[in-house]
Amino acid sequence: MTSTVPSDAHGLVRLLESLPEFDSYRIELIDGKLVMLPSAAPFHNLIQVAVSSQLHQRGWAAMTEQALSSSLRSFEPKPDVVATGYEQVADNANPLPADRVLLTVEIVSTDRGSDYAKKRLWYAASGIPLYLIIDPNDGLWELHSGARSGAYRVVEHGEFGEPVELPEPFSFPLSTAQFKIYPPRPPF
């Protein structure tokens, strides 16, 4: 059996994704580093389903853990939820070019620095108009918009239970009423 050595980090992501031993992991390229995440906790997954289903009900293509690419080659994130129009995914491109994406959603687990800083900067620099961070650690959300010169210029904050007013082209309140705060972690 011969195998081809990947020529770059994106090729390595593809190789690892093809191995059955890594089926239970989400493999991302973040700031030039491979990140392998185990399956998420139930509260995380329930929020992911709630967000995706609200977007689907409004006629949007909402995908979970869809790989994204842009000209900024040191990243290939897989946001918890990606939303766009169905015509933007008609060719089934994978990774999906970031310039086709209207909204990314990250549900914070343990690596807050990645969601609040590294991914936020990449999403803005890649031209994604809206970035929603949902943080079950604190029961808070942040909606970032107004991307310009590689940064989001507008940030709206709220708590679980308060709707996220998604601007155009979505133009609907995303309910957070069912979102739950993570329980305290047991001491080791």
Instruction: Retrieve residue 181's tokens.
Output: 């705060």
- Both ends of the chain: CA-CA distance in Å? 43
In residues, how long is the chain?
188
Confidence check: pLDDT of 48 > 90:
yes
Residue whose C-alpha is closest to residue 10's, from 136, 84, 132, 94: 94
Q: What's the whole-number mean pLDDT along residues 44-59? A: 97
Q: Assess contact for 140 and 156: CB atoms under 8 A.
A: no
Lowest-confidence range among 3-7, 47-51, 83-87, 95-99? 3-7
Q: Which residue has the higher pLDDT, 179 or 24?
A: 179
The pLDDT tens digits of the residues spanning 157-175 come to: 999 999 999 999 999 999 9
Q: Assess contact for 53 and 46: CB atoms under 8 A.
A: no
Q: Which residue has the higher pLDDT, 106 or 5?
A: 106
Residue-range domains of the chain with CATH: 40-174 (3.90.1570.10)
SS3 112: helix
Instruction: Retrieve residue 172's tokens.
Output: 């609907």
pLDDT of residue 38: 65
Q: What's the whole-number mean pLDDT along residues 68-76? A: 88
Confidence check: pLDDT of 116 > 60:
yes
97: exposed, middle or buried (Cβ count in 10 Å: 0-12, 13-18, 19+): middle
Cα–Cα distance for residue pair 137/140, rounded to 1 Å: 8
> Which residues have C-beta within 8 Å of that of residue 36, sequence separation ≥ 6?
16, 22, 25, 26, 27
Q: What's the whole-number mean pLDDT along residues 74-100? A: 95
Q: Where are the alpha helices (DSSP H) in the chain?
A: 9-18, 42-57, 112-113, 119-125
65 CA to centre of own chain: 7
Q: Assess contact for 146 and 154: CB atoms under 8 A.
A: yes
